[in-house]
């Protein structure tokens, strides 16, 4: 059961989170909750921390006391009602530990861009320079993911399947670690730690830079914009232009946040059988992140139905999201774009796309592009709640 405040109530929620209890309002934090009663309108009232929450009566009875976990902050904070049916599982414990540590890939990519512009990088220990080169090599180009085999390879090397591939006795473990995104992150984390660069712990929560929501199924897809590069005078650059330590400490923080995010996606896959994949892409004018969600039998009783969702945000196009559903030989494609000019650009490519799909033997049932972004997806068992002051 999911708690998601309305936009108006979210302001009150965010205000309370930014007060004296700010430290407790972080992604992954578990809060105490209890039912208070029923309103005259028949709505159930719950107390969560210091706030009252109003919701329609759930289909299942709530216990006298339970807990909720903070899944995201921002304009639409999201909480998950936790009613344990037994001892906490390993997956639940690992998820609880990693959620407060995770963040999107964009800050990491911005830090790498800034570091690449510093000539002092050539003076770093060879272990760090090698790890940085391997991480750069693990990123894909738009050309590499523009066809089926290339996209399949990018998904396989996204880090989501690293441990499963290493467990394969026929796999070349060392080569996999060098080509895989998670393997490259782990190598860089080790090199930075050995070099004495220790980043500050992640402090997700109010008052800090907005965090990217974790890659969870009920959160749906979320396009990740590029993070702004630090400007002159930013503490990240340090007082001495020759000193890379502040930048490398920040890099260590970003690397561990990216690893925690990857492990959240791995744990989500183990719990829901939905693949949440994120692929960093190196373009001509910058780096971007493509998010994918792949599910079998998502909206159909036919297990042969596959649904692929994707989201990305490019400076020239703005946020774009799509859903491709394949049922046998029948294909449906739905696109959404935040910018009207992007909708027009995509519409002009539809005739070429129809011709290519027809040549492949697929039957196109739907091809559309809408202005605006789709509503954030929710899991089938989610119950929406709203907060009130």
138-171 pLDDT per residue, tens: 999 999 999 889 999 999 999 999 998 888 777 6
Q: How confident is the model at residue 372 (pLDDT cuts 50, 70, 90)?
A: very high
Q: What is the pTM of this model?
A: 0.75
Flag whether pLDDT at 343 surpasses 80: yes
Range with top average pLDDT, 26-30, 165-169, 187-191, 196-200: 187-191
Flag whether pLDDT at 34 surpasses 90: no
Determine the pLDDT at residue 277.
96
CB 26 within 8 A of CB 204: yes
Looking only at the bridges linking them, the beta strands covering 385-388 and 51-55 are antiparallel
Q: How confident is the model at residue 1 (pLDDT cuts 50, 70, 90)?
A: low
Q: Which of 111-125, 205-219, 293-307 has the lowest mean pLDDT?
A: 205-219
Q: Which of 36-45, 76-85, 191-200 has the lowest mean pLDDT?
A: 76-85
Position with higher pLDDT, 171 vs 216: 216
Q: How confident is the model at residue 252 (pLDDT cuts 50, 70, 90)?
A: very high
**Phi–psi pair at 20, nearest 5 degrees:** -70, -15
DSSP of 40-104 = TTS-EEEEETTEEEEEPPPSSPPPSSEEEEEEE-SSS-EEEEE--SSSPPHHHHHHHHHGGG---
Determine the pLDDT at residue 207.
37
- Cα within 13 Å of Cα(316), Cβ side: 6
Q: How many CB atoms lie within 10 A of CB 31?
A: 17
Determine the pLDDT at residue 144.
94
Q: How confident is the model at residue 4 (pLDDT cuts 50, 70, 90)?
A: low
Flag whether pLDDT at 386 surpasses 50: no
User: CB-based contacts of 51: which residues, under 8 Å, 6+ apart?
Assistant: 12, 13, 16, 387
Determine the pLDDT at residue 176.
62
Flag whether pLDDT at 21 surpasses 60: no
Q: How confident is the model at residue 255 (pLDDT cuts 50, 70, 90)?
A: very high
Question: How far is residue 144's CA from residue 151's CA, in Å, rounded to a whole number?
Answer: 7
Q: How many CB atoms lie within 10 A of CB 284?
A: 6
Question: How far is residue 371's CA from residue 374's CA, in Å, rounded to a whole number?
Answer: 9
Determine the pLDDT at residue 110.
94
**CA distances to 263, 277, 278, 294 from 266, in Å:** 5, 9, 11, 13
CB 90 within 8 A of CB 233: no
CB 48 within 8 A of CB 54: no
What's the mean per-residue pLDDT of the chain? 80
Question: How far is residue 12's CA from residue 7's CA, in Å, rounded to a whole number?
Answer: 9
Question: How far is residue 238's CA from residue 182's CA, in Å, rounded to a whole number?
Answer: 29
> Token pair 């004495």 is at which residue?
196
Mean pLDDT on 354-377: 88
Flag whether pLDDT at 224 surpasses 70: yes
Determine the pLDDT at residue 366.
94
Q: How confident is the model at residue 9 (pLDDT cuts 50, 70, 90)?
A: very low
Mean pLDDT on 284-305: 81
Percent of the chain with pLDDT over 70: 77
Sheet order of strands, 30-38 included? 2-3, 78-82, 66-72, 30-38, 44-48, 51-55, 385-388
CA 310 to chain centre: 12
Three-state secondary-structure class, residue 386 = strand
Mean pLDDT on 219-243: 77
Q: Which of 108-122, 157-171, 192-206 has the lowest mean pLDDT?
A: 192-206
Flag whether pLDDT at 71 surpasses 90: no
> Token pair 């393997």 is at which residue?
183
Flag whether pLDDT at 328 surpasses 50: yes
Flag whether pLDDT at 172 surpasses 60: yes
Q: How confident is the model at residue 23 (pLDDT cuts 50, 70, 90)?
A: very low
């Amino acid at each position: 059961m999911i708690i998601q405040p309305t936009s108006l109530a979210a302001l009150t929620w965010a205000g309370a989170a930014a007060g004296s209890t700010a430290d407790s309002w972080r992604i992954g934090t578990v809060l105490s909750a209890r039912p208070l009663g029923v309103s005259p309108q028949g709505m159930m009232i719950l107390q969560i921390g210091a706030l009252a929450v109003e919701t329609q009566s759930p289909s299942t009875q709530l216990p006298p006391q339970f807990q909720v976990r903070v899944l995201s902050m921002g304009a639409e904070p999201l909480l998950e009602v936790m009613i344990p049916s037994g001892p906490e599982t390993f997956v639940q414990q690992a998820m609880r530990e990693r959620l407060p540590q995770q963040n999107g890939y964009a800050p990491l990519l911005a830090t790498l861009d800034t570091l690449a512009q510093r000539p002092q990088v050539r003076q770093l220990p060879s272990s760090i320079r090698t790890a940085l080169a391997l991480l750069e090599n693990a990123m894909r180009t738009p050309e590499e993911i523009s066809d089926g085999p290339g996209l399949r390879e990018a998904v396989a090397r996204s880090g989501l399947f690293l441990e499963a591939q290493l467990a394969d006795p026929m796999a070349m473990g060392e080569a996999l670690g060098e080509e895989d995104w998670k393997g490259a992150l782990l190598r860089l984390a080790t090199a930075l730690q050995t070099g004495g660069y220790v980043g500050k712990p992640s402090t997700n929560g109010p008052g800090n830079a907005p965090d990217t929501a974790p890659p969870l199924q009920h959160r749906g897809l979320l396009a990740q914009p590029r993070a702004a590069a630090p400007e002159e005078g930013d503490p990240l650059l340090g007082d001495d232009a020759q000193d890379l330590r502040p930048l490398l400490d920040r890099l260590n923080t970003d690397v561990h946040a990216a690893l925690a995010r990857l492990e959240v996606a791995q744990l989500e896959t183990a719990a829901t059988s939905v693949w949440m994949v994120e692929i960093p892409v190196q373009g001509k004018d910058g780096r971007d992140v493509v998010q994918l969600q792949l599910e079998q039998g998502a909206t159909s009783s036919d297990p042969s139905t596959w649904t692929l969702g994707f989201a990305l945000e490019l400076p020239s196009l703005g946020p774009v999201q799509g859903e491709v559903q394949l049922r046998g030989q029948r294909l449906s494609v739905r696109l959404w774009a935040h910018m009207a000019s992007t909708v027009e650009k995509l519409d002009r490519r539809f005739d070429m796309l129809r011709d290519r799909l027809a040549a492949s033997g697929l039957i196109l049932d739907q091809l559309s592009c809408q202005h605006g972004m789709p509503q954030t997806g929710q899991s089938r068992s989610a119950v929406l709640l709203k907060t009130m002051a």
